[in-house]
């Protein structure tokens, strides 16, 4: 099974990069592009400044690790589970016993998670806080293995598409793009396609599942994370038949942009730029295809604890960060290029998350659900209309 990098491997990995950079640091700093592997094995291309940022980020990760260890030492290894316990069993008369210490823990935890979960702790913390552990505990211990065995050798439309996409999921990655990596990713995706036949396989899930595999280390945990993500964390029907959930999210996002960044929204409307031109990929791949790996995972840290509203925060932040530049554009293509360049170079997760949570202002899950309800009928009507138009085409054909 694939092992995520220990600290020692990590240090070794970055050495060649330093050797490459040293002689040229004083010369053409910004123009020199180097390729290297990041923490999760992805090849990154960046200039010296990017590399410096990555080094700083690594130092911050280390510091953050120390904070977590210190808390474990003082509060016990599973201290962060307490706030979750009270919220899960809510309504079973536990409310009254919600102790002050639990509340304090909850607040500490929220702040801590926004600052990032250390990569070593991610599998454990994600698994419990997302609700994946609870989901898994409701079925027999052997569920995943039984499922994998039961579906082995079966061929469906979904499995054919999965097979097609395996070598096309982060090609070139040192583990994902190996026979072993393909096989693990296949089992997770095929397993899920049988668990929920409405979703089956949707392109985009391959990237999400692949990154989950890299973080969670075991297939089974990655599978449960995927399940909790699709069944509990994200809005339903994001990945089903006509992606209706995703269409709704895009409209809600458009509304939020108009509210939170009115100047950008007005300018984009003038250019006839529809936010879903870029945001569809963000929402379906949960940024895994756009942001550098550690930045993506920092977004996911918060996503698994605070829910789908995080996607809106982050998407808005990306626009917000480039407000002045975006206002100067005259063409849809320029907008897209700016946003692409920005996302690909967001090596500092804090830069993004600070904007996302401090500058965007609060959005409660409640307001988002209301917005979704508001947009749903229009989306459904539009999809329905299109479907009817296409069906009428088919009928004409048969005549």
Partner 1 sequence: MARTGNKNIQAKLVLLGDMGTGKTSMVLRFTKGQFFDFQESTIGAAFFTQVLSLNEATIKFDIWDTAGQERYHSLAPMYYRGAAAAVVVYDITSMDSFERAKKWVIELQRQGNPNLIMFLVGNKVDLEEKRKVGNEEAEQYAKENGLVFLETSAKTAQNVNELFYEIAKRLTKKVPSRPTGMKLHRRPQETGRRRQLPRFPQLFVRMLVYQIELHCGPSDLKIKAALNEK
What are the residues binding partner 1 (CB under 8 A)? Answer: 161, 164-165, 167-171, 202-204, 206-207, 239-244, 247, 274, 276-278, 280-281, 284-285, 289, 332-333, 336-337, 383, 386, 389-390, 393, 397
Integer Cα distance of 162 and 73 in angstroms: 44
Among the listed residues 218, 237, 234, the one whose alpha carbon sits nearest the alpha carbon of residue 148: 218
Provide, rounded to whole angstroms, the least separation between the CB of residue 171 and partner 1.
Answer: 4
Provide, rounded to whole angstroms, the least separation between the CB of residue 263 and partner 1.
Answer: 23
Whose Cβ is closer to partner 1: residue 149's or residue 331's?
Answer: 331
Integer Cα distance of 277 and 46 in angstroms: 26
268 and 253 Cβ atoms separated by less than 8 Å: no
Tokens 């994998």 found at: 148
130 and 122 Cβ atoms separated by less than 8 Å: no
Provide, rounded to whole angstroms, the least separation between the CB of residue 240 and partner 1.
Answer: 8
Q: How far is CA 14 from CA 20, 131, 206, in A?
A: 10, 35, 28
Provide, rounded to whole angstroms, the least separation between the CB of residue 356 and partner 1.
Answer: 21
Whose Cβ is closer to partner 1: residue 162's or residue 355's?
Answer: 162
Whose Cβ is closer to partner 1: residue 89's or residue 385's?
Answer: 385
Integer Cα distance of 257 and 265 in angstroms: 6
Whose Cβ is closer to partner 1: residue 130's or residue 280's?
Answer: 280
Integer Cα distance of 290 and 347 in angstroms: 11
Provide, rounded to whole angstroms, the least separation between the CB of residue 81 and partner 1.
Answer: 35
Whose Cβ is closer to partner 1: residue 244's or residue 343's?
Answer: 244
Whose Cβ is closer to partner 1: residue 101's or residue 337's?
Answer: 337
Query: How many residues belong to the chain?
Result: 399
Provide, rounded to whole angstroms, the least separation between the CB of residue 372 and partner 1.
Answer: 17
136 and 216 Cβ atoms separated by less than 8 Å: no
């Amino acid at each position: 099974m694939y092992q995520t990098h220990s600290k020692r491997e990590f240090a070794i990995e970055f050495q060649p990069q330093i050797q490459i950079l040293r002689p040229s640091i004083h010369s053409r700093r910004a123009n020199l592009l180097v390729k290297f592997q990041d923490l999760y094995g992805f090849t990154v291309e960046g200039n010296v400044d990017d590399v410096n940022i990555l080094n700083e980020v690594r130092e911050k990760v280390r510091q953050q690790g120390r904070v977590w260890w210190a808390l474990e030492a003082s509060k016990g290894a599973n201290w962060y589970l307490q706030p979750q316990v009270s919220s899960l069993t809510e309504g079973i008369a536990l409310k009254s016993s919600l102790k002050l210490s639990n509340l304090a823990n909850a607040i500490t935890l929220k702040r801590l998670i926004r600052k990032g979960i250390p990569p070593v702790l991610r599998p454990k913390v994600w698994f419990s806080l997302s609700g994946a552990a609870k989901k898994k505990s409701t079925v027999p211990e052997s569920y995943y293995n039984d499922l994998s065995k039961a579906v082995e050798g079966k061929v469906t439309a979904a499995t054919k598409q999965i097979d097609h996409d395996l070598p096309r999921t982060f090609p070139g990655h040192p583990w994902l793009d190996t026979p072993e990596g393909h096989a693990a990713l296949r089992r997770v995706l095929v397993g899920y396609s049988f668990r929920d036949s409405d979703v089956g396989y949707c392109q985009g899930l391959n990237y999400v599942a692949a990154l989950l595999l890299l973080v969670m280390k075991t297939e089974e945990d990655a599978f449960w994370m995927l399940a909790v993500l699709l069944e509990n964390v994200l809005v339903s029907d994001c990945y089903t038949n006509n992606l209706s959930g995703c269409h709704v999210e895009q409209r809600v996002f458009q509304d939020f942009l108009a509210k939170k960044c009115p100047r950008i929204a007005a300018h984009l409307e003038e250019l006839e730029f529809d936010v879903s031109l870029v945001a569809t990929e963000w929402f379906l791949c949960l940024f895994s295809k756009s942001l550098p790996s550690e930045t993506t995972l920092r977004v996911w840290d918060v996503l698994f604890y605070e829910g789908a509203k995080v996607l809106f925060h982050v998407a808005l932040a990306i626009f917000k960060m480039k407000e002045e530049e975006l206002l100067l554009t005259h063409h849809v293509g320029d907008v897209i290029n700016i946003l692409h360049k920005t996302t690909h170079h967001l090596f500092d997760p804090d830069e993004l998350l600070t904007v996302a949570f401090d500058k965007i202002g609060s959005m409660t899950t409640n307001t988002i659900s209301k917005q979704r309800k508001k947009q749903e009928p229009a989306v459904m009507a539009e999809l329905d209309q299109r479907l009817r138009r296409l069906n009428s085409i088919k009928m004409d054909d048969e005549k």
